[in-house]
Structure 1
């Protein structure tokens, strides 16, 4: 029996060596392989169906990343609304606050969360402390306990009425480029897009066009379509804040993510079954 642990951090070149764990690659893995422990919440780099067909259990780290990612999203929300990146650039040029436009407070703004999982709920909790009103859309409505006062609305309404739209949904075939030209046209011209999920959820070319045309007011991004490349149109845009996919790159979070994987692997080796598996495999073992 063997175990494979994967860690898709930008500083690692592992994905450049192996590529995606697609059907072709999985078919070449040794027959003794029984567990793949993915050290991350998103696991779009792994094709689960071929693993399931070969009786390989796949686990990710679904909840440990919630707080760190929500912290990053909150930073992007505050930075975008208050235009802190423009202010920092002014200070670095020695201009202090001369010529800076007035920014916006988060209080009384509507935060729309597309994908109200663990990260979305952690973000909602933080945003409430800023006086923001929370609405969300999921494939299915949450229980009242999990909603914690957030309002469930249809997807189109969420996009059209949110002052800040935060993307907190997984990347898969149905969500790739699910936010594009039509969605940007539907958003308020004063709205801001926040993406701490996966870059390909957004049509990056459409986002750049929306920023340049003024269809939306700004963007706060931690993820991109072709990482580690960040388009210069985003990096240089005064109304875009670009972080280099650092949502979970804190010491405490990385330590617990690795410990989570190790505990899962230990359980698998001891019992033949991982403590947690990805949703597509739940109930199979």
Structure 2
């Protein structure tokens, strides 16, 4: 893991609580508002931030995140501006891990080596690139690891025990468990299965397990936080942002609306009842 990611999950473990991972799309609805939202997330209780790289064809995302990407692109946002957002954020926050999430095409167009160097220099901690399977690790995953960035994989309910070793082989930072099949925002997870799914993955890795897709409320976040190492919320957060807009443009309520929603999620995560940590053996 990068130093920031290691420190954050170690701190969460000491507190015996799950982390809150929040997703926003960079540049949505415009660069200035997006930067203000980004700064507000840690203040509101986010422990890790996923920052979406806008793309014209986000195949794994539902209508909400697709619309966010289109708003950002229409406002002139590009990958270079995403990196600039991270660099500016780091001037005031050098502790919160930031993971860029998206698709390979914008990175390929930017240039892999140039992108990795610029991302590292800007203060990015990791990448989630949803359309590069383990069989394509030489394209980006291995170079990212060599550049000192985490490469975070997604596991799903259909990722069985035979497939998990390949998924986890070069994964670092944390494992993102997608608790429902389908696109983002498509369904509510079956919380009764989260515990068993997390435990199954933990038999294959010591990495933290973050669970997302379908978490929409503080109560749902608490359900997941009782078993996972982190809870990921994206679509519901973007929905709150979108409802604050006027014809696609930011209003005076936009940043506060997002902040208030994340504060509620953070309270939910922190209220989760978790098993007491295992007692440490006494050592001479």
TM-score normalised by the chain length of structure 1:
0.33
Q: Pick the structure with more helix per residue.
A: 2
Pair member with larger Rg: 1
TM-score normalised by the chain length of structure 2:
0.33
